[in-house]
Structure 1
Amino acid sequence: MKVKGYPMLASLLAVMLLVGLQTPAYGENATTRATWIWQTDLIKDGGEELLHFASDEGITLIYLQIDRQLPPEIYEAFIKRAHENQIAVHALGGDPRWALTEHREDMLGLADWVLNYNGKVSTGARFDGIHLDIEPYVLAQWEDETDEVISTWEQNLIMFLNQASGSDLELGIDIPFWFDRYTLGNGTSLNEWLIGTFDQVTVMAYRNQVESENGILDLTRDELELANRLGKQILIGVNTKEMPREPHTTFYGYGKESLNAKMEHLSSALGSYASFAGIAIHDIRNWQNMSSDVTVPPDEEEPTTPPPDPDPDPNPEPGEGDRVPDADPITRDPVVRGTYIWEAHEVIRNSQEILDFAKEKNLNWLYVRLDLEQPYTKYSSFVKQAAAAGIEVHALGGHPIWALEENRPRMMRLVNYVKNYNRAVEGDERFHGIHLDIEPYVLPAWRENSQQVISEWTANLDAFVTELKKDSNLEASMDMAVWLDKYKVTGQDMSLSKWMINRMDHVSLMAFRDKAEGSNGIIAVAKEEIAFADELGKPIKISVEIKASHEGDHITFYEEGAAYMEEELAKLPELLKDSPSFTGSLVHAYAYWKNAKP
């Protein structure tokens, strides 16, 4: 492969290609088992616990994020121990902005740092490689300036490779499985260039099924075949991090035995590919926290997307037995404007950005997902500043498996954390409530026996509210799909929607449509639930989507943009003026809204 204007890189790539072609086939004998360590602080004590776990799990390669402010002695001690355990260590770094010209120096600084470090320590304490994780597709520029971002990214990577050439470092990079849809200026596909250019590529095949349609095998076949032709090595990356909105992309909720069984299945299935070098599991902290027991059955037919809405036939009028005679009247005005913050690290790292965004959008309500490993001080300042700005903050949590009885302790852990937090902090630093997002209809158990899941789900929700209300005035709330009125509560002649609205202090109805009016608009799909809330005297909020959706353009405002969304949301108070239950609207979610089309 020739790279015009970069003779050193062209020579390097030629050597790399020859080496790759002479490398023994992996396949059945692939032994690499890698993982990412993003929390560099975990090695400050020498990393003994991490390395013990790594050895137990057969890890042979660690991608270790570099904090350039840490003393080199910390890395030196950790790498020596890792090498003694036959574990290679690659310096890990990455930022989406490294694809842009103005942030090139930061990426080149990583190469400089590693080269300088390796030049000062003994052979046994040196890094074995550098691994990049750069995901420019999350940048706002990617949507409208894709070609320009790819072009500057290519230039930055070429300079990085030139700088690192001549060393003994193995150079690797993470890529998603869908990069084959993009090309460079010369017509070469982006994934072909990256696989051909780097010593090693880890394909982020974030799915939790191996052989099903859109499973790991299906999504990585092209990359493995391409790497075969190029004589290169491919690691297949899988995820164990909690992804509440995309549970099909992670093994979170599975047990370690189930994960290992899936990985053995995957390794066996990929044995025929010479390019298959092993598996990478993201990331070590989430992997360590997995339970030993299987909590989600390994079902190769598990759906990878939520089911479509049931037919929008109107729900029958509620019977007399459904009525709750002592409902309290609704006292809130429909003034809530809010959003969801799913990335737990955002309020810790970027609190001011969130508050500035909230001010710009005139928000007064936030659902914020928490990292329960963090000390209370990580949240108290943000909640206090939000309160000063007139913003209610509710702790956010949830996962499809939280509907199952065996996973009730996960829910209660969130309850206990928030209650203990509120007891430990000042009044203006307290959360107002806990908001759950639990969507068990993506689980195989729902397809097999939805009524059993509903029975366990409602029992868990009842336990959640009961525990939350003990010694606290925290508000209990949840997200609810618009079609749950088609299901009945187990053993009762009451719709599931009505039960949930009655049990919670408020619900946020996921009325994911891109217009307020019309036969399939927000009002139309939400009318049964709004009627229930009016009858029960319970507040209800309308949530809308601005994230790109594979379920159809009508689901989201992604294509129309933020201004059009605001126009449609502005219609809701007038359209619902006769419904006292309507108390405002929320946009899902902050990460997508801030980068949305104008």
Structure 2
Amino acid sequence: MKRFIVSLICAAVVSSLLPVPSEAATAVTRHTVIWSIPEAKQLSTKINQLTTRQMKRVYLHVAVEGDRTLYRSFVEKAHLAGIEVYFLFGQPRWITNEGTANRPNVEDPLAWINVYLQETMERPDGISVDLEPYALPEWETDQAAVVASYQRILTAFQDVSDTTSLPLQLFLPFWFHTVSDASGRPLSEWAMELADEVTLMSYRTVYGGGNGLAAITMTDALYAASHQHRLSYAIEFTALPETPSITFYGKTRTTLNQLVNQTMNSSLPPSAIVYHDFDAYQEFMRSTQ
């Protein structure tokens, strides 16, 4: 095992130094995120845009108090276009109240999934969760308790995944291998064992260097490869004035192509690249050559 890991590290380091074409297209599975479901009259337009951008999967954020019929229509139209839809759930406060405490049942994300499936035959292709426990103030005062609650609610999502036969995908920060649970296990490893796929929020615009995408994903990429787990990477297009170096906003298509090509041609390529989010990516493509 040691020899295998050393070989992977060496191969990855060497591959990060090899030149790759800056403009040439590289085969890549494209996923994206949509945070607000379009109005009914805009659904077809949005699906056409996703098809034009060659998106294979959409992580569609669910407002659990919203109209479920819109989600059914989105799934139906996306499937007709050959696009997968994963329902995305993300609210950090669900961690500390674990989804249900002090909330009406309609706001319970786990109940929402079951009610949706009872009402329609238009099933999504999976469940996605992006809870980000480090956004909670309790992360600074009682991290261990937050981590434990985080694991409990993700396990609850995994139970629903098993019951409904819907694959579970998780969004994680790229640094979760540095955070351990009560057993001493890195959170990223625990999550990869729990879910069908993990997406690292590896927001970088360069591949090489000490703070490039290759370096920050290396630990999890090695673990995923050696344990046959699906791992994807997310890249950012939203304007981030405080951290402009981690987003493609204001940058060129050449810069984007370089990162994508190097990532997909490396010895440890991800299963997909997630373009976050779709509206920002659309604007990027409109404003660049």
Normalising by structure 2, what TM-score?
0.81
- Find the residue that maps to 1:338 and give its secondary structure: strand
Superimposed CA distance per residue, residues 316-371 of structure 1 (whole angstroms, 9 cap, x where no aligned partner): x9xxxxxxxxxxxxxxxx85301100113x26452123212212211111000123
The residue aligned with 1:424 is 119
The residue aligned with 1:185 is none
Alignment of 1:429-578 (within 5 A): 429-470=122-163, 472-490=164-182, 492-562=183-253, 564-575=255-266, 577-578=267-268
Q: Are the aligned partners of 1:347 and 1:379 in contact in 2 as well (CA < 8 Å)?
A: no
Residue 571 of structure 1 and its aligned partner are, at CA, apart by 2.5
Amino acid at match of 2:278: Y
Superimposed CA distance per residue, residues 411-455 of structure 1 (whole angstroms, 9 cap, x where no aligned partner): 9822332233234323xx210111111112122111112122111
Amino acid at match of 2:56: N
In the superposition, relative to structure 1, how do residues 509 and 418 fare at CA in structure 2: closer, same or farther (>3 Å)? same
The residue aligned with 2:63 is 371
User: Percent identity between the aligned chains?
Assistant: 24
- Total equivalences in the alignment: 257
- Find the residue that maps to 1:359 and give its secondary structure: helix
Which whole-Å CA distance do the structure 1 matches of 2:211 and 2:146 have between them? Answer: 28
Which whole-Å CA distance do the structure 2 matches of 1:416 and 1:561 have between them? Answer: 43
Residue 544 of structure 1 and its aligned partner are, at CA, apart by 0.6
Amino acid at match of 1:560: K
Residue 382 of structure 1 and its aligned partner are, at CA, apart by 2.0
- Find the residue that maps to 1:559 and give its secondary structure: coil
Alignment of 1:113-512 (within 5 A): 335-344=28-37, 346=38, 348-404=40-96, 406-409=97-100, 413-426=108-121, 429-470=122-163, 472-490=164-182, 492-512=183-203
Alignment of 1:98-109 (within 5 A): none
- Find the residue that maps to 2:272 and give its secondary structure: strand
In the superposition, relative to structure 1, how do residues 570 and 388 fare at CA in structure 2: closer, same or farther (>3 Å)? farther
Q: Are the aligned partners of 2:205 and 2:212 in contact in 1 as well (CA < 8 Å)?
A: yes
Residue 386 of structure 1 and its aligned partner are, at CA, apart by 1.0
Which whole-Å CA distance do the structure 2 matches of 1:468 and 1:425 have between them? Answer: 17
Structure 2 residues without counterparts, runs of 5 or longer: 6-26
Dislocated runs of 4+, deviation >4 Å: none
Residue 535 of structure 1 and its aligned partner are, at CA, apart by 2.4
Q: Are the aligned partners of 2:28 and 2:272 in contact in 1 as well (CA < 8 Å)?
A: yes
Residue 375 of structure 1 and its aligned partner are, at CA, apart by 4.1
Which whole-Å CA distance do the structure 2 matches of 1:502 and 1:550 have between them? Answer: 36
In the superposition, relative to structure 1, how do residues 487 and 373 fare at CA in structure 2: closer, same or farther (>3 Å)? closer
Superimposed CA distance per residue, residues 479-523 of structure 1 (whole angstroms, 9 cap, x where no aligned partner): 100111111111x13111111111111111100111122221111
Which whole-Å CA distance do the structure 2 matches of 1:372 and 1:401 have between them? Answer: 14
Which whole-Å CA distance do the structure 1 matches of 2:253 and 2:34 have between them? Answer: 17
Which whole-Å CA distance do the structure 2 matches of 1:542 and 1:407 have between them? Answer: 27
Amino acid at match of 1:435: S
Superimposed CA distance per residue, residues 210-256 of structure 1 (whole angstroms, 9 cap, x where no aligned partner): xxxxxxxxxxxxxxxxxxxxxxxxxxxxxxxxxxxxxxxxxxxxxxx
Calculate the aligned-residue CA RMSD, in Å.
2.2
Amino acid at match of 1:573: M
Superimposed CA distance per residue, residues 256-313 of structure 1 (whole angstroms, 9 cap, x where no aligned partner): xxxxxxxxxxxxxxxxxxxxxxxxxxxxxxxxxxxxxxxxxxxxxxxxxxxxxxxxxx
Q: Of residues 261, 274, 280 in structure 2, which corresponds to 1:592?
A: 280
Which whole-Å CA distance do the structure 2 matches of 1:392 and 1:349 have between them? Answer: 20
Q: Are the aligned partners of 1:514 and 1:554 in contact in 2 as well (CA < 8 Å)?
A: yes
Structure 1 residues without counterparts, runs of 5 or longer: 1-316, 318-333
The residue aligned with 2:8 is none
Which whole-Å CA distance do the structure 2 matches of 1:375 and 1:401 have between them? Answer: 22
- Find the residue that maps to 1:558 and give its secondary structure: coil
Q: Are the aligned partners of 1:498 and 1:532 in contact in 2 as well (CA < 8 Å)?
A: yes
Normalising by structure 1, what TM-score?
0.41
Which whole-Å CA distance do the structure 2 matches of 1:589 and 1:578 have between them? Answer: 24
Q: Are the aligned partners of 1:415 and 1:434 in contact in 2 as well (CA < 8 Å)?
A: no
Greater CA radius of gyration, 1 or 2?
1
Q: Are the aligned partners of 1:364 and 1:390 in contact in 2 as well (CA < 8 Å)?
A: yes
Amino acid at match of 1:569: V
Q: Are the aligned partners of 1:347 and 1:354 in contact in 2 as well (CA < 8 Å)?
A: no
The residue aligned with 2:18 is none
- Find the residue that maps to 1:350 and give its secondary structure: helix
Amino acid at match of 1:433: G
In the superposition, relative to structure 1, how do residues 586 and 347 fare at CA in structure 2: closer, same or farther (>3 Å)? farther
